Amino acid sequence: MCEILTLGEPMALFLANQKGELDKIEEFTKLVAGAEVNFAIGMARLGHEVAYITKLGEDPFGKYINRFLLENNIDTRYVNYDAGHFTGFQLKSKVEVGDPEVFYFRRHSAASHLHTEDVSDILWDKVKHLHLTGIPPALSSTCREVSYKLMAAAREKGISISFDTNLRPQLWKSKEEMVSVINDLAFRSDLVLPGVNEGKILTGSDDPNQIADFYLKEGVSTVVIKLGEKGAFVKTQDTSFEVQGFKVEKVVDTVGAGDGFAVGVVSGLRAGLSLKDAVVRANAIGALVVMFPGDNDGLPNSRQLESYLQTQLGQQV
């Protein structure tokens, strides 16, 4: 059974072993990165069955990523291979403060050549939730068509949909195209998860209340806006509230925190938690992620998450 379905581009990640500019680094550690990979791993570690849709090159990176997915208990039945294009990869710097420098090698990657026929055999009767982000639609027109096709199928079958806006301006032809497509996809979702800075780009306002209303008026059920260390603002058709973030003494790397946040909200709701408790869980996972250097090594299993919440709040998950 596949409870959760997601779509994305997994990439090999070379993380600098020393601080400094990327062109001056001599040694890197090889890892796996990708927003949807992070989401899939986080959900799997919390006991959910997750299938990942992508296309890999028939190259060492593709083999490495497929093995990594399997080792993290992710269903790879919808992973296809492309002999004519390579698997994407990226370099990431090591920093003491702030966001690291990330350099991508992903143009014309295997994943960008995903087509609608690659998702023609989805076993939808097993799927309970679809999670998408704004990254695949930016990769190519065919990836965009896949995102729309998956959303349409999920909507037709009554499957809940979450959408993390995850803006990547450098992948789009223009800001106008990015805003138009991302918002159109968000309007087709049940749960939208923008960051407050993304909300400013997408709606023209950095007021969380106004950002939420922008999507709610189009029929979205729930909007959860990420406010970084401050926590999150939540609004539905019936209510609104803020959830305070967790204090982190030392932030090691911020990449992946938003993906961990999405894991917390979706897994919490799937587990039957209230929306507020699901967002508390999301803030907790986001805090745990930024304590680690890799994109997904800080994602907790159920025991680790429960221990952290008990320590921070004195409560059970």
Identity of the amino acid at 243: V
The reported pLDDT for the residue numbered 99 is 78
pLDDT tens per residue, range 125-171 = 999 999 999 999 999 999 999 999 999 999 999 999 999 999 999 99
Q: Which of 128, 124, 146 is nearest to 7 (CA)?
A: 146
d(CA 76, CA 100) in angstroms, rounded, equals 30
Domain with 165, as residue range(s), is: 4-313
Alpha helix segments (H runs only) across the chain: 35-45, 60-71, 136-139, 141-156, 175-187, 196-203, 208-216, 257-270, 275-289, 302-313
Q: Residue 81: count other Cβ atoms within 10 Å of its Cβ.
A: 16
Predicted structure pTM score: 0.94
Q: Which residue has the tokens 């014309």?
A: 108
- The CA-based diameter of the chain, rounded to the nearest angstrom, is 54
Q: Which residue has the tokens 């994407």?
A: 88
pLDDT tens per residue, range 238-296 = 999 999 999 988 888 787 899 999 999 999 999 999 999 999 999 999 999 999 877 78
pLDDT tens per residue, range 10-34 = 999 999 999 999 999 999 999 999 9
Quick one: tokens of 47? 């006991």
Quick one: tokens of 215? 């999507």
d(CA 196, CA 231) in angstroms, rounded, equals 11
d(CA 317, CA 299) in angstroms, rounded, equals 15
47 phi and psi angles, rounded to 5 deg: 95, 10
Q: Read off the DSSP letter of residue 100.
A: P
pLDDT tens per residue, range 184-193 = 999 999 999 9
Burial class of 273 by CB neighbour count within 10 A (0 to 12, 13 to 18, 19+) = middle
Residue 222 has pLDDT above 80, yes or no: yes
The reported pLDDT for the residue numbered 316 is 42
d(CA 252, CA 248) in angstroms, rounded, equals 10
User: Cβ(96)–Cβ(19) under 8 Å?
Assistant: yes
- Tell me the CATH number at 61: 3.40.1190.20
User: Cβ(197)–Cβ(223) under 8 Å?
Assistant: no
Count of domains observed in the chain: 1
The reported pLDDT for the residue numbered 302 is 95
Quick one: tokens of 128? 């309970």
Active site residues: 259
User: Cβ(226)–Cβ(258) under 8 Å?
Assistant: yes
Query: Which value, to the nearest 10 degrees, does the dihedral of the CA atoms of residues 124, 125, 128, 132 take?
Result: 0
d(CA 58, CA 182) in angstroms, rounded, equals 30
